[in-house]
Amino acid sequence: MNINAYALKRIVDSSVSKSGDDYIAKIPSMMSAQEQHLLFLLSRDYYSYEGKIIDAGHFLGSSTYSICAGLARQAGKQARQVFSYDLGIWYKGWTELLKKDGWLKFFELFPECYELGDLESFIPVYKRAIAEYIDLVNIRSGDLVQILETEGFNEKIEVLFLDLCKMPKINHATQKFFFGNLIPGKSVLIQQDFLCDSLPWLYINLGYFSDFFQFIGFVGSSAVYLFTREIPGNMLNTDCYYDLNLEEKEKCYDASLALVSNDYNYKLCRLAKLKMYHDFGETEKYSDLLREYENYPELQAALNSVIDRIGLGQYY
């Protein structure tokens, strides 16, 4: 294990146990406290200004706040090290949903959320939530695919936090424009949605590039990897979800699932294959997997949710 892998393993272990300096962002989050602690420790103890930090999928600011709070505790901090991406659009029903999900404190701090209408930008709320650290952040709001296709990204990346790969085209864009800027032996990838029942392209993508990343561990739903060696350009352009044949997709998918030792989490991640089989017209495989999962009572709620989203044409 090289020195950076060892350092990352210590940070992951500390985040899981939340030992050492305790840190929980003041902003409520869909991430766990352990995941917020991970981002804090990475930016405080691991980040060395060799590249930028990508905060892709900031929502109302908990990931940005956690990252910047760590940076602020470094001596000689530099401005605009964090590139923060999000579509930044509020959807009808989120207000009531988040209030039920323990976000009342956030609404008390930022009552303007009550006034947000359907498809209105929440970026002004985000900016106020991270106001004390806003000089550290380059905010890039809007459609990530369009932004990257138009502007590209030509900076080295030291920390790549992904929490927005909810569609295959977004997942492909992060691979195409970010992976080529990672620093071998140094850069860390955090895929926040790894333990999920609905995003098969994540597992295919991570399996496809498994020779270039060393898996470090899980923190909450996040999988943490060290980037180990440069990826050939032709691989960066491969759209793993659509360009690979089914056998190749299954092989990559199963390589990612091999990292999951917990039985419930393994079944949860494998459930996303239903979406893959549906998308590529694999009716028999879809039916076989559906019948299998009907025998797992602990996963019935997740199964029903996946089937509903497939029927509605929703990704997540």
pLDDT at 93: 82
Say which DSSP state 46 is in. I
Superfamily for domain range 3-242? Vaccinia Virus protein VP39 (3.40.50.150)
Q: Identify the segments of the chain with pLDDT beneath 50.
A: 20
pLDDT at 33: 87
pTM metric for this prediction = 0.95
Q: How far is CA 157 from the centre of its chain?
A: 16
Question: pLDDT for 42-83, tens place per residue?
Answer: 999 999 999 999 999 999 999 999 999 999 988 776 778 999
pLDDT at 19: 52
How far apart are alpha carbons 214 and 228 in whole angstroms?
7
Through-space distance between the first and last CA atoms of the chain, rounded to whole angstroms: 36
Q: Assess contact for 28 and 56: CB atoms under 8 A.
A: no
Strands 222-227 and 188-191: antiparallel
pLDDT at 107: 82
pLDDT at 269: 97
pLDDT at 106: 80
pLDDT at 64: 96
Place of tokens 């300096």: 21
Q: What is the CA radius of gyration of the chain?
A: 19
pLDDT at 28: 74
Q: Assess contact for 168 and 201: CB atoms under 8 A.
A: yes
